[in-house]
Amino acid sequence: MARKGSHAQFKHKAKPGRVTVPHPKRDIPIGTLKSIEKQSGLS
C-alpha cells in the first residue's frame, strides 16, 4: 500500500496495476466504489 496525499493505492500481488482509494475517512461515491470493486476482482 502506498499513500500520496489523501489517497491510498493498493497493489494486488497477482494482478497488474493499482487500485486508488480516496481519503479513508470520507464517504466514497457509489460509482467509485463499484469501480474499485471491479478493478479488485471482488465481485
Q: Are 10 and 18 in contact (CB under 8 A)?
A: yes
Residues in CB range of 15: below 8 A, 6 or more apart: 41
| Alpha carbon distance 23, 5 (integer Å) | 8
pLDDT tens digit at each of 43 positions of the chain = 566 667 777 777 777 877 777 776 778 789 988 887 887 777 6
Query: What was the pLDDT predicted at 4?
Result: 60
Query: What was the pLDDT predicted at 3?
Result: 61
The CATH number covering residue 14 comes to 3.30.920.30
The domain containing residue 31 runs over which residues? Answer: 2-40
Query: What was the pLDDT predicted at 2?
Result: 60
Give pTM, 2 decimals.
0.45
Query: What was the pLDDT predicted at 27?
Result: 81
Total structural domains in the chain? 1
